[in-house]
Amino acid sequence: MTGIKQLTEEDRRARAEENAGLPTLGFESGTPYDDYVGTAALHRLQRTVTDVPEELAFLVTTQVMELYFGLLRSEWLLAQRQLDDDDVAAATLTIKRTVRHFEALNAAWASLSWMTPAQFNSFRDALGEGSGFQSALYRHVEFLLGNKSEVLTRPHRRNPEAYRELTEALHRPSLYDSVLALLARQGYAIPASVLERDLSAEYEPSGEVEAAWVEVYAGPLAPLAEALTDLAEQFSDWRYRHLMAVRRSMGAKPGSGGSSGLSWLERSMRREIFPELWTARTLM
């Protein structure tokens, strides 16, 4: 990386001997850690709009989630490339890794689990119309998981980069589409109506796909199926924790972004990802 002096194992060993085992304490400018992580820029991003102390926890937690959304997007795009190359082992490992990312993302809700309605209301009005519904990265994550809707790209039309990325994601295969295409290439009976469908439309479960997953579980691709199931479970957990955080802090009040709030989230939870992975279990 530009600006960072790379070290070899030999360099590190020599430095440890020179320092008699102690950490290096003197640097020509900032520390290499700060240069790499960008800590100064990172901490300048916490710009609260009120003096209410609880707002900082809300803002930091939200920003942490945004970073994880970006990480998940990058990882799933990688998994899709691996699936397209028929590298099942690599794709399975990548998806398993994102399950761990999701566990950390879900744990972030704990930083808001203490918030009472009075505490949230103390700064909520100052947030104006800002809402997590408007997160372009979260929407991209949902599209990659197969929860697609052209309507949900519209809040980002005045942000050219975000809108372009979401529009492309709307019309390209989801992670699940890439998996089903792989299964078809591997000889499983995935119907053409699924493989050639309108990728921008909401996915409709298929009995033939369900039967294919039953076969998958009896063969060498079962670990891929389980990795996807773990991922779907973590995503459901994220949505449930989101729902409970809203329920705890504001009840059934309307959302800041114009939605009905709690009932909107409840409807969203009913849209399952990778649906045949769940229904196939009844047939096994």
CA-wise closest residue to 115 among 243, 222, 273, 248: 248
Q: CA–CA separation, 270 vs 239, rounded Å?
A: 10
Rounded Cα–Cα distance for residues 164 and 158 (Å): 10
Instruction: Tell me how far apart the alpha carbons of residues 237 and 258 are, in angstroms, rounded to a whole number.
Output: 24
Q: What is the pTM assigned to this prediction?
A: 0.92
What residues does each domain of the chain span?
Answer: 55-283
- Decide which of 1.10.10.10, 3.30.1330.10, 3.60.20.10, 1.20.58.480 is the CATH code for 55-283: 1.20.58.480
DSSP 255: P
d(CA 118, CA 251): 11
Give me the pLDDT at residue 190, please: 98
Q: Are residues 155 and 134 in contact, defined by beta-carbon separation less than 8 angstroms?
A: yes
Annotated binding site: 124, 242
The pLDDT score that the predictor gives to residue 1 is 47
DSSP 253: P
Handedness of CA 246, 250, 251, 256 (dihedral sign): negative
Integer angstrom CA distances of residue 178 from 81, 173, 184: 9, 6, 10
Nearest to 269 by CA among 247, 236, 230: 236
Name every residue whose Cβ is closer than 8 Å to that of residue 101 and which is 6 or more positions away in sequence.
Answer: 68, 71, 72, 75
How far is it, in rounded angstroms, from Cα 85 to Cα 43?
Answer: 40
Which of 222, 202, 205 has its CA nearest to residue 213?
Answer: 222
> Of 141, 131, 157, 145, which Cα lies nearest the Cα of 256?
131
Q: For each of the chain's 284 residues, which pLDDT tens digit applies?
A: 457 788 899 989 998 999 998 888 888 888 888 989 999 999 999 999 999 999 999 999 999 999 999 999 999 999 999 999 999 999 999 999 999 999 999 999 999 888 899 999 999 989 888 877 789 999 999 999 999 999 989 999 999 999 999 999 999 999 999 999 999 999 999 999 999 999 999 899 999 999 999 999 999 999 999 999 999 999 999 988 888 888 887 777 766 665 666 676 677 767 789 999 999 999 99
Binding site per annotation, positions for heme: 242
- Name the DSSP letter for residue 70: H
* Residues in the chain, total: 284
pLDDT at res. 247: 84
Kindly tell me the number of DSSP H helices and DSSP E strands found in the chain: 14, 0
d(CA 230, CA 232): 6
Write the single-letter amino acid at 213: W
Binding site for substrate, by residue number, is: 124
Q: How far apart are CA 15 and CA 30, in angstroms?
A: 18
What are the backbone angles phi and psi of residue 280, rounded to the nearest 5°?
A: -65, -25
258: left (phi over 0), alpha (psi -120 to 50) or beta: left
